[in-house]
Amino acid sequence: MNPRQDGARKSSSWSAADFNRLLAIPPGAVLALFFLVPIFGVIWRSFSDPAIGLLNYRRLFTDGPYLQSLWLTITTALMVTVLCLVTAYPVAYVMARARTSIQQLIGALVVIPLWTSVVIRSYAWMVVFQRRGILNQALTSTGLVDTPVNFIPGSIAVYVGMVHIMLPFMILPLVANMRSIDGRLLAAAGVLGATPAQAFLRIFLPLSLPGVLAGSALVFMMSLGFYITPALLGGPRHMMAAVLIEEQANRQLDWGLASALATVLLVLTVAVYSVYVRLSNRVEGGLAHGR
């Protein structure tokens, strides 16, 4: 190769790389200014308001209501994740293996609710669960209960509302993963004598684990910071951390404790994401080596 051509190619590649770096500067600056700076401000305020030290974290981890709210937040996010996974997996399986027309129909039913505001959907569940709502009317008319049940405020209404909102975020990663699974593997297993159940448990299910991990991590991390649905459907009986943060910041004007709660949620989210990355790499590595 001509040395001049080689040098020209290197200079052009370097110029392209430099151009790409220049393109990354504006979004990086916006991200740093409007995302990272406020986050660091919240973290600093958790240590400095009302005085520099660990006072807010001592209150957070020694006072019963705050610990109870954190534990309720974690358990609620875990319960919602499990319910979403159990509900979404069969739907995603049918959607991934159905004909194109059925895929489009199910996909529309999954995506269309995302066009509706979370507030509107939460208020719709309030109409369903209220004492004179559709659910209580059905229960009393069939004789299952004598008096209307107080679903609101309560945990059942929170679980149902959050699962309804989080379900698409579990289905879509599962469908994306299941569509990438080669159907010829299941056909080969059938030729070798495996039953459909054996082919599913030994081939399809392990290959779908990356989608399970991605959807579960996404739903769990989003559920940790959920505010609107627990506030409307849960009330004081089901006060999650985000609701408590709003109360401390806007009603109690205790910005230091609110910042400490927000920082703990941030740490939990980062920890969950780190665990997800490790598990995902391990699962993908095991699948690549045929384990």
The 10 Å Cβ neighbour count of residue 67 is 12
Token digits of residue 104: 């489009």
List the chain domain ranges. 1-48, 65-288
What does the pLDDT look like over 114-129, one tens digit per residue?
888 888 888 888 888 8
∠ CA 280-207-74, rounded to 5°: 45
**In 144-254, alpha helices (H):** 155-179, 183-191, 196-199, 205-207, 209-224, 228-229, 241-246
Q: What is the pLDDT of residues 156-194, one digit of tens each?
A: 889 999 999 999 999 999 998 988 888 888 888 888 888
19 compared with 161, residue with greater pLDDT: 161
Residue 11 has pLDDT above 80, yes or no: no
Run of H or E including 274: helix 255-288
CATH number among 1.10.10.10, 1.10.510.10, 3.30.70.270, 1.10.3720.10, domain 65-288: 1.10.3720.10
Cα 216 to chain centroid distance, Å, stands at 7
For 234-264, write each residue's pLDDT tens digit.
877 778 888 888 888 888 888 888 888 889 9
Note the pLDDT tens digit of each residue in 188-228.
888 888 888 888 888 888 888 999 999 999 999 999 888 88
Contact residues for 178 (Cβ-Cβ < 8 A; gap 6+): 92, 93, 95, 96, 97, 204, 208, 211
**Mean pLDDT along residues 23-46:** 85
